[in-house]
Structure 1
Amino acid sequence: MIRTATVDDIAEIRAMIRELAAYEKAVEQARATEEQVRAALFGAHPAASVLIAEDDGTGEVAGFALWFPRFSTWTGARGMHLEDLFVRPGHRAAGHGRALLAALAGICRESGFERFEWVVLNWNEPAIGFYKSLGAELLEEWTVCRLSGGALEELAAQAPPVVHPART
């Protein structure tokens, strides 16, 4: 079963974020607290949405997908960015990942989104093979860029004032 997350899922979502980070060999980077996850998903201005996969036999939470809308200047249309997809090891190969991605594709279609995009670590061959089996195109000519920590702070320190004209 695929369902939208509720506030009662916060602890489970945070636990799966940490499990995903451990799988990706970066658990020290997964610092989000339950309070931050709650605010991001259920606060006054939600930043993202989550779908939960439950095992039909046991009712256990098998995995999750966290996504948010994005915009393409090239197509002039909104799309979807999948930030995290995770299925717990004991539930893999049971169709939960495919079901989560299919549900997200359905949301894209219903919302008029023209693109559904995500990134995958280049060493994660099982995931890459799975995504290719679904027809996903790997855009190898693109490289993810990131500013964080000191580099972000250094560039921000050089920011000019931003003028906000009154909107009419």
Structure 2
Amino acid sequence: MAQSGQFSFAFIKATEGKNYKDAYFQENWRGTKEQNILRGAYHFYSDYRTGIEQANNYISVVPKEAGMLPPVLDLEVSGNDHSMMLRELNRFINRLQQHYGVKPIIYTDHDRYTEYIQGNFANYTIWIRDVYTPVQWNKVQNWSFWQYNNRGHVPGVSGYVDMNVFSRPQKELAALVL
């Protein structure tokens, strides 16, 4: 596990779809706590399962703990039926909000932001993934996190690590915790 110091926060993959549970989640969750790194967990959303099924998968893995960052919806896919996709995203988000008592953070790229998030989730914290092209900031509202690199290196972690920044003062990051 990486040591803290220059890192303020970490988001750890927990689940994907209806059944997938990341094999390293528990180890990474424990390790970030031991290093006193502010932590949260994310769910990689699938358009092949209902929002409730996916939310229940996440809830079964990620404990509700004081001091953790809000749950994260990782939206990188588009559904064939736009209205059905929006309905299921709402169900997923509402289920997590009901369980954890906070609004989830929405992680997405610019295309999915324009397609699903903009105009539908105005009061949610947005985390934009854009590692290949300049972000069109004038078209993204409420963004707080930005993934600027998907090939970062962190001492103590083998392989690539996504690198992110938080756009607001540190006290606002601390205010997000449960």
> Structure 1-normalised TM-score?
0.40
Q: Give the strand-richer structure, 1 or 2.
A: 2
Q: Which structure's relative contact order is higher, taking Cα pairs within 8 Å and 6+ residues apart?
A: 2
More helix by share: 1
